[in-house]
Amino acid sequence: MMRLRREDPRVVGSFRLHRRLGAGGMGVVYLGSDRRGQRVALKVIRPDLAEDQEFRSRFAREVSAARRIRGGCTARLVAADLEAERPWFATQYVPGPSLHDKVAEEGPLTAAQIAAVGAALSEGLVAVHEAGVVHRDLKPSNILLSPKGPRIIDFGIAWATGASTLTHVGTAVGSPGFLAPEQVRGAAVTPATDVFALGATLAYAATADSPFGHGSSEVMLYRVVHEEPHLVGVPDALAPLVRACLAKDPEERPTTLQLSMRLKEIAAREAHGVSDGRPPAQRARAERPTGRLAEPPYEEQRTTERRTAGTPAPRPQGQGHGQGQRQGQRQEQGQGHGSHSGPHARPSSSRQSSAQHSGAAGGGPSSRPTSGRTGGRPGPRTTGTGRRPSRPDPRLMRQRLIVFIVVTLIVALGIAAAQKL
């Protein structure tokens, strides 16, 4: 807010003016209040527009239509004087920053926040369109984020005033980057025009940038008509819906009612944490490649282990030594002595069967087949040299102990006999 200037009026109609809220192509907006203390945003028309009778007629029609709008997502029209020397109108004052300022200062919104704001705006546009008004200049700076939810301001007025940020006023009305293709071509506007602007606004909330980038007015208009929107950074849950809103053909865009219902579903799902709700910038940093191979999922590892007990699989390039060695050892154990030396060789069923029988006949601990252990569990562990750790045989240990005792007694008897001699 700014202080009133010397040339600014102090009273307009029944409202006392306190501060300047801003100025645009149509006039100056003031913060005012009535005798009951109700605060309003009061806009006074520029003197040059006030002298234009055609403007006055269009302005009167738009104000009349705005009076019929009933919806919680719009700034309600409080009063207007169309016959004054400088026409003016007052709307309900909405405290809170604009969506543009919010994103510029704090960064992109989360997917849940974007869906909730979009659902409320869609519902507000339903009420606007039912009143016979098309906003024609919906953009982040015309959306205020109040404590009670988002509010649409300046609805249906931009078209009447001819206010535009374009070089040639009257050729296309609105702001580059948020204009629909039919506005650029000079075709009739419909509620689908506001749907296009809403899609561009939601893309801005997700990326802090227009989906058609930056540039001169001519460049921006060309992109709107001929190029696809840039939606990198828009959350996956919202990207298809935003892309549908930005369709070049108005007939291919969803209606505001469809948008409201779909965005409410997305907002509810995101609020319950079904999908990643981080802003795209944070998600991109977290998912940035590190140059290292990621570990395969747990189920994939289990599947690989079960597979290696039967049919060998080629070892990937650059596989870690420990993991590759273990898988290779399991393959050798499952194939016995009959496997081929090449890593890509696939043994026949008969060769594999004979290898298992020969391993069983050999009786050695390293030649036992592992096919019996492939029923959902990995094979036995192996040592670093490729052999399984052998388990001590109790019978062999007893034999060795008896031999040791006998040899010890013989040596003792020999020593005693030698001493007697």
Catalytic residues: 137
Would you call 193 helix, strand, or coil by DSSP?
Answer: helix
The two structure tokens encoding residue 9:
């009026």
Q: Please, are residues 156 and 75 in contact by the beta-carbon 8 Å criterion? A: no
CA–CA gap between residue 318 and residue 293 (Å, rounded): 9
Q: Which residues contact 205 (CB under 8 A, 6 or more apart)?
A: 99, 103, 108, 109, 113, 114, 117, 140
Give the torsion sign (CA, 289, 293, 298, 299): positive
Would you call 30 helix, strand, or coil by DSSP?
Answer: strand
Q: Backbone dihedral region of 328: left (phi > 0), alpha (psi from -120 to 50 degrees) or beta?
A: alpha
CA–CA gap between residue 5 and residue 312 (Å, rounded): 85
The two structure tokens encoding residue 24:
């645009």
- One-letter amino acid at 362 equals G
Q: Please, are residues 373 and 356 in contact by the beta-carbon 8 Å criterion? A: no
The two structure tokens encoding residue 6:
């010397």
Distances in Å between the alpha carbon of 224 and those of 178, 209, 247, 289? 8, 14, 10, 33
Give the helix/strand (H/E) hosting 408. helix 394-420
Query: At residue 120, what are phi and psi to the nearest 5 degrees?
Result: -65, -40
Q: Please, are residues 315 and 323 in contact by the beta-carbon 8 Å criterion? A: no
Would you call 144 helix, strand, or coil by DSSP?
Answer: strand
The two structure tokens encoding residue 116:
């909730």
What per-residue string of b and e applies to 83-116 under the rule 16 or more CB within 10 Å gives b? eeeebbbbbbbbebebbbebbeeeebbbbbbbbb
CA–CA gap between residue 210 and residue 246 (Å, rounded): 12
CA–CA gap between residue 10 and residue 28 (Å, rounded): 13
CA–CA gap between residue 48 and residue 179 (Å, rounded): 26
